[in-house]
Amino acid sequence: MRVRSLIRPTFLAGAGLAIALAAGGCAAGPPTSRPGSAPPASPITSTARPASAAAPSAGESSARESPSPTRTRQHRHLAALVRVHDPGRVTGTLTGPCRARDHGLLPDPHCTPGAIDPAVTQADIASTICVSGYTSRIRPPESQTEAFKFGQAYPAYGMSPGTQSELDHLVPLELGGANDAANLWPEAGPIPNPKDGVEDALHRAVCDGQVSLASAQRAIAGDWQTAEHRLGIGPVVRPPAPSPSPAPSPTRSPSSALACTASVSTSGPADYSTVDVLVTTRPGAAVSTVAHYKTTDNRKSATADGAGQATIGYYISGATPGFTVRVSVSVTSGGRTARCGTAFTPRP
């Protein structure tokens, strides 16, 4: 009886409150924004459409799949891959600030949530991603990817120009990924990197019918290291921990003899990747490099930083596999010139 006496007033009070609210014309509903409040700014401006959006009806044209005006949207979930049809060109912008995860092996999900091409579907993989040469037809030119890498991705992720990295598609082109800013990020580490093997494994699984295209896209966008394990086709990938950065070379006095040494970030770069020529010389020296390809020479220049270091990147696109590219290096300072060199061999 005491329990009833305790509950009944509470019930009546609640009922009275409900009646009062109803009489006052109040209804339950979502809270409204406070005057003057605004949603947080997005770090990316993407020509994008959420992958969860309803697909167009059969009567609609394929142009409806491509986003219309550029717009900004906040990406809150990894599963919300955006959709943009942009073959052969980089679209969108990346401003940051962005923070990579797991020693630079995973991107910031708010800056790089992943983007897919709506023109690639499960029904047409036999005529798109599973056809040899597909990625070369839709990959943007080096001039656009290098401009995006050093002009937007590096500043947004707070990376110095000399950092070794690969401008990577989070959802790779071979799995229907797009060239939008929402899908591009500077993946730190050696080139080629372990993610390349995961991309190949998922591509084979999709084209062999082991897993669906959508499942592979979601898995690699969530965490490429666990993608194969989540899909039941392989183990978790555990890349080795990054080695400590080498100590800066000692600064030479201007009166010392001018010298230079050169090396490359990888001796066997893959096609569509960047190999960095690393030069050590006198601080402030002018550095000039010439890469002697089989049919052409590619000249570049830079200035050594305060530690006497200069990094010059060469993007590998269509280079002759197996042909050793010699890189001639010359440095100039105080009227003196020194020369050194290195080499790399593009792999098939």
| Judgement on whether residues 220 and 317 belong to the same structural domain of the protein | no
Q: Is the alpha carbon torsion for 244, 276, 310, 187 positive or negative?
A: negative
3-class DSSP state for residue 173?
A: helix
| Judgement on whether residues 281 and 189 belong to the same structural domain of the protein | no
Q: How far apart are CA 140 and CA 78, in angstroms?
A: 24
pTM, entire model: 0.55
| Judgement on whether residues 186 and 311 belong to the same structural domain of the protein | no
**Domain CATH number, residue 306:** 2.60.40.10
Q: Which domain holds residue 328?
A: 261-344
Residue 212 inside a domain? The answer is yes
Residue 218 inside a domain? The answer is yes
Residue 243 inside a domain? The answer is no
| Judgement on whether residues 219 and 303 belong to the same structural domain of the protein | no
Residue 277 inside a domain? The answer is yes
Residue 251 inside a domain? The answer is no
Residue 293 inside a domain? The answer is yes
3-class DSSP state for residue 169?
A: strand
Of 183, 211, 231, which marks where a domain is finished?
A: 231
The amino acid present at 76, given as its one-letter code, is R
| Judgement on whether residues 283 and 135 belong to the same structural domain of the protein | no
| Judgement on whether residues 219 and 81 belong to the same structural domain of the protein | yes
- Taking CA 165 as the corner, what is the angle to CA 132 and CA 301, rounded to the nearest 5 degrees? 100
Of 231, 253, 277, which marks where a domain is finished?
A: 231
Q: How far apart are CA 304 and CA 299, in angstroms?
A: 16
- Per-residue model confidence as pLDDT tens for the chain (348 residues): 333 333 343 333 444 434 333 344 433 344 443 444 444 566 777 655 555 443 443 333 333 333 333 333 333 334 489 999 999 999 999 988 999 998 888 999 999 999 999 999 999 999 999 999 999 999 999 899 989 999 999 999 999 877 888 899 999 999 999 999 999 999 988 777 889 999 999 999 999 999 999 999 999 999 999 999 999 999 998 776 555 444 444 444 444 578 888 888 888 888 888 888 989 899 999 999 999 888 888 899 999 988 888 999 998 887 788 888 999 999 999 888 999 989 888 887
